[in-house]
């Protein structure tokens, strides 16, 4: 009986210790006192050509006295007008190196950095480098004396639920401190391949952009970048770019003034439950290859459309968002291994990472029913899709390159489930699963094979003219 009581006491004590550890700090004052001198206000000026320019309510000055200057009798009497914007930043070196968001200084004609809140010192800033993909920029100011600065911490060590502090310049108020917790990690927004954001409920408002997010050690673990809001104000959903991404980018900007990213040369799609099942993959992970750029590192390695990339350079590819970042952070000319899942088994390929010759991302082609034209009397309807074998006339009509093979989509029945898949007239069907399609007969055979296996959907590779991607078509 005594042993049982002792066991219960140990459990209760452990729970008490966890509860005590979860208590918020009594004050953030010590951290703030050391950090706030290194946080700066950034003011930018952009000259706008006023001739033939239309205005909205958002363009009106906030100060009523400025309305007389804004509305002049002769619209051409003032050819340009200066637009001012406010943001935040932080000093990372006593010599005056400052980190901020790219969008704070984009298109700015003048950049001014203000140090301190009471009688702030103002300095002209020079842009040393910028990276629109990660929304980061590095500025430099020259001062007589060394400046207070802050250091980066490791955002990978932070956890959901950790306390964080945000300092910035919301609405031009300067030196404003807010606190909260990390609400989530690895958030992906805006469709950006480089997003891996920290979500927080610490209040972040307009003007906070570019300011630092601190952990309880007083280290910068993020750069406050954006908020989600229906009103333009804070509703407790803010995001910061993690220091694990920021620090190496800033190092490159400081040392070279530009960013060098590795390039593999593939267009990828997510692996969902159906893709994994149809490919025979046991777990839902990896990145599905929808297109391989000719003569790219992936092409030279032997990567094929329909492969699922499961590991890159020895590291697991957990989802589609991880691979672009892993590739971009790989040094150019480095030898890497690529593990792919193909035809029910894993294969390891090898290649050398290169510098991209152009932006590796393409935009989605615009769907257009106008492409269909008078094609209702030719071709064959399958799964609610009117398709036809390619001939010279159809190649010319839909501007299909000679090197491409497949069958052409002429139209979609309005009541067909296929209309929800995104397929449209002018698309070229090139594969069903991993099987290449060159004729309607090929297409029919593969669809029948998939149906015979009891599958209710088929993975179809389509080319919209500016890239390929897999779509799911309902077979019922």
E-state strands within 228-270: 238-242, 266-270
Is the Cα dihedral 218, 159, 135, 258 positive or negative?
A: positive
In 3D space, the residue among 401, 388, 457, 398 whose CA is nearest the CA of residue 429 turns out to be 388
**Rounded-to-10 torsion of CA 421, 422, 426, 428:** -50
Catalytic residues: 103, 135, 209
Return the residue matching tokens 């897999």. 470
Q: Distance between CA 216 and CA 210 in Å, rounded?
A: 19
CA angle at 186 for the pair 182 and 191, rounded to the nearest 5° = 125
Q: What are phi and psi of 396, to 5 degrees?
A: -70, -40
Q: Distance between CA 180 and CA 203 in Å, rounded?
A: 8
Q: Distance between CA 116 and CA 122 in Å, rounded?
A: 9
| Residues 213, 202 contacting (CB under 8 angstroms) | yes
Q: Distance between CA 422 and CA 417 in Å, rounded?
A: 10
Q: Distance between CA 292 and CA 288 in Å, rounded?
A: 11
- CA atoms within 13 A of residue 315's CA, in its CB half-sphere: 13
Q: Distance between CA 318 and CA 336 in Å, rounded?
A: 18
Is the Cα dihedral 67, 69, 72, 75 positive or negative?
A: negative
Spatial neighbors of 419 by CB under 8 A, at least 6 apart, are: 384, 412, 413
Q: What are phi and psi of 441, to 5 degrees?
A: -60, -40
Based on its alpha-carbon atoms, the radius of gyration of the chain, rounded to whole angstroms, reads 28
Q: Distance between CA 445 and CA 448 in Å, rounded?
A: 5
| Residues 94, 149 contacting (CB under 8 angstroms) | yes
| Residues 207, 84 contacting (CB under 8 angstroms) | no
In 3D space, the residue among 34, 15, 54, 44 whose CA is nearest the CA of residue 150 turns out to be 34
Q: Distance between CA 458 and CA 447 in Å, rounded?
A: 7
The runs of H, that is alpha helices, within 334-473 are 392-398, 440-452
């Amino acid at each position: 009986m005594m042993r049982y009581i002792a066991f219960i006491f140990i459990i209760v004590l452990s729970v008490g210790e966890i509860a005590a550890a979860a208590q918020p700090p009594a004050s953030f004052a010590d951290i703030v006192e050391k950090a706030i001198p290194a946080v700066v206000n950034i003011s930018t000026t952009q000259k706008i050509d006023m001739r033939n320019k239309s205005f909205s309510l958002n363009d009106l000055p906030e100060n009523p006295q400025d309305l007389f200057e804004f509305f002049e009798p002769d619209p051409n009497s003032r050819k340009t007008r200066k637009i001012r914007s406010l943001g935040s930043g932080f000093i990372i070196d006593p010599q005056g190196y400052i980190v901020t968001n790219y969008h704070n200084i984009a298109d700015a004609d003048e950049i001014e950095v203000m140090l301190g809140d009471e009688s702030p010192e103002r300095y002209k800033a020079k842009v040393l480098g910028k990276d629109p993909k990660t929304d980061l920029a590095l500025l430099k100011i020259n001062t007589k004396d060394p400046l207070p600065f802050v250091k980066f911490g490791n955002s990978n060590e932070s956890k959901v639920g950790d306390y964080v502090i945000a300092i910035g310049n919301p609405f031009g108020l300067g030196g404003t401190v807010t606190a909260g917790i990390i609400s989530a990690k690895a958030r992906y927004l805006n469709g950006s391949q480089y997003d891996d954001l920290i979500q927080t409920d610490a209040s972040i408002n307009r003007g906070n952009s570019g300011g630092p997010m601190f952990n309880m050690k007083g280290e910068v673990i993020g750069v406050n970048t954006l908020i989600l809001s229906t009103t333009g104000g804070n509703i407790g959903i803010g995001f910061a770019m993690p220091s694990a991404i920021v620090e190496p980018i800033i190092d490159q900007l400081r040392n070279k003034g530009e960013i060098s990213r590795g390039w593999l040369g593939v267009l990828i799609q997510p692996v969902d439950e159906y893709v994994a099942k149809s490919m025979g993959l046991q777990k839902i992970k990896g990145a599905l290859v929808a297109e391989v750029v000719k003569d790219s590192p992936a092409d030279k390695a032997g990567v094929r459309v329909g492969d699922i990339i499961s590991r890159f350079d020895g590291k697991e590819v957990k989802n589609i968002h991880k691979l672009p970042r892993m590739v971009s952070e790989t040094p150019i000319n480095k030898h890497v291994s690529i593990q792919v899942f193909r035809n029910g088994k894993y294969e390891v390929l090898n290649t050398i990472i290169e510098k991209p010759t152009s932006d590796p991302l393409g935009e989605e082609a615009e769907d257009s029913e106008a492409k269909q034209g008078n094609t209702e009397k030719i071709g064959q309807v399958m799964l609610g899709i009117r398709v036809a074998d390619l001939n010279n006339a159809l190649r010319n009509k839909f501007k299909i390159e000679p090197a491409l093979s497949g069958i052409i989509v002429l139209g979609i029945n309005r009541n067909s489930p296929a209309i929800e898949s995104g397929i449209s007239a002018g698309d070229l069907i090139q594969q069903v699963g991993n099987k290449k399609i060159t004729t309607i007969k090929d297409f029919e055979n593969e669809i029948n094979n998939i149906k015979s296996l009891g599958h209710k959907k088929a993975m179809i590779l389509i080319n919209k003219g500016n890239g390929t991607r897999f779509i799911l078509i309902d077979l019922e």
